[in-house]
Amino acid sequence: MEDSTLIQACKNNSLRAQMQVYQLHKDMMYNASYRILGDSEDAQDTVHDAFIKAFKAIVNVDDNLNLGAWLRRIVVNCSLDFLKKHKRIVRWDVSIDLEDEDETEAMEDITLKAEVVKRAINRLNERSRITLVLYLIEDYTHKEIAQQLGLKESTVRNQYRRGKMQLQRELNIIH
Partner 1 sequence: MSLEKYIRQNRSKLDDKRMPDYRDHEFEARLKSELHHSAQPIQRKRLWALSIAATIVAIVAVGAVFTIDRMEEIERRDQLVVALGEDQTNSTRLEAIYEIEDLSRRQKEDEQILAAFFKILKDDSDSNSKIAVIDALMAFPENEAVRENIIEALATEKEPLVQLKLIKSVTILRERRAEESLQEIINDTETLPVVKENAHATLAMLNNK
Residues forming the site for partner 1 (CB under 8 A): 13, 15, 18-19, 22-23, 26-28, 30-31, 34-35, 40, 44, 47-48, 51-53, 55-57, 59-62, 66, 70, 73, 105-110, 112, 114-115, 117-118, 121, 132, 136-137, 141, 143-144, 147, 164, 167-168, 171, 173
**How far is the CA of 161 from the CAs of 95, 129, 157, in angstroms?**
12, 11, 6
Which residue's CB is nearer to partner 1, number 62 or number 101? Answer: 62
The least distance separating partner 1 from the CB of residue 27, rounded to whole angstroms, comes to: 5
Distance, CA of 69 to CA of 65 (rounded, Å): 9
Distance, CA of 143 to CA of 102 (rounded, Å): 17
**How far is the CA of 139 from the CAs of 53, 69, 85, 134, in angstroms?**
22, 11, 23, 6
Which residue's CB is nearer to partner 1, number 21 or number 92? Answer: 21
For residue 133, which of 33, 54, 39, 45 has the smallest C-alpha distance?
A: 33
The least distance separating partner 1 from the CB of residue 175, rounded to whole angstroms, comes to: 15
The least distance separating partner 1 from the CB of residue 38, rounded to whole angstroms, comes to: 12
The least distance separating partner 1 from the CB of residue 99, rounded to whole angstroms, comes to: 20
